């Protein structure tokens, strides 16, 4: 049985998953986040209502480009034949984002309205979306290691 590989095309689908989860969580917290965060400034409200949906696809494109750069470096170093290399690279691409969004949501002080809006509008969806994308990439990495292709491991 051939090992499932996380190719560049599948990584693009992973980026689309990230954008969809981010947009879905953003849509679910959008109406309640302003009330719970105590944001009263109409300019801040309008900005996050009008342009907040663009953050998911923009971040997904950014992560896809970072993945392509990291995968290119992996191939240039000579780790091209590593069975789960792209899945590991994709997992490592999202790991710092998970750490950043976790610390943003849990430890960042909420002193100003813009800080509360950023934490509630971007921190929470970013944490959910990166966890979902990292879980899918990690599943590909584990499946790639468990279901190795015998032709690749024998050196043929």
Q: How many domains does the chain have?
A: 1
pLDDT digits (tens, 9 = 90+) for 90-118: 778 888 888 998 999 899 888 888 888 88
Tally of CA atoms within 13 A in the half-sphere of 114 that contains its CB: 2
pTM summary value: 0.73
Residue 65: partners with Cβ closer than 8 Å, 6 or more residues away: none
Which residues does 70 contact at the CB level (< 8 Å), separation at least 6?
Answer: 89, 92, 93
Residue 59 lies in domain? 8-144
Would you place residue 88 in the very low, low, confident or very high pLDDT band (cuts 50, 70, 90)? confident
- 40 domain-assigned: yes
User: Do residues 87 and 141 make contact, with C-beta atoms less than 8 angstroms apart?
Assistant: yes
Q: Is residue 79 part of a domain?
A: yes
| 8 CB-near residues (< 8 Å, 6+ apart) | 68, 71, 86
Helix (H), strand (E) at residue 141? helix 124-146
Element (H, E) at 71: helix 55-77
Q: Is residue 25 part of a domain?
A: yes
Q: What CA–CA distance (Å, rounded) separates 129 from 66?
A: 16
Return the residue matching tokens 């090992």: 3
- pLDDT tens digit string along 17-51? 777 777 777 777 766 666 666 777 888 878 877 88
Residue 156 domain-assigned (yes or no) = no
- Residue at 57 is within a domain: yes
- Residue 151's pLDDT is 47
């Amino acid at each position: 049985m051939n090992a499932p590989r996380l190719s560049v095309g599948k990584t693009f689908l992973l980026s689309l998953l990230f954008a969809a989860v981010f947009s879905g969580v953003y849509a679910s917290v959008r109406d309640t986040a302003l009330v719970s965060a105590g944001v009263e400034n109409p300019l801040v409200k309008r900005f996050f209502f009008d342009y907040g949906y663009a953050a998911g696809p923009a971040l997904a494109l950014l992560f896809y480009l970072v993945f392509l750069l990291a995968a290119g470096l992996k191939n240039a170093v000579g780790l091209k034949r590593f069975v789960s290399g792209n899945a590991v690279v994709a997992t490592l691409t999202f790991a710092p984002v998970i750490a950043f969004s976790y610390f943003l949501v849990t430890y960042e002080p909420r002193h100003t309205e813009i800080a509360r809006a950023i934490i509630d509008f971007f921190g929470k969806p970013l944490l959910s979306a990166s966890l979902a994308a990292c879980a899918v990439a990690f599943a590909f990495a584990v499946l790639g290691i468990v279901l190795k292709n015998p032709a690749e491991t024998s050196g043929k």
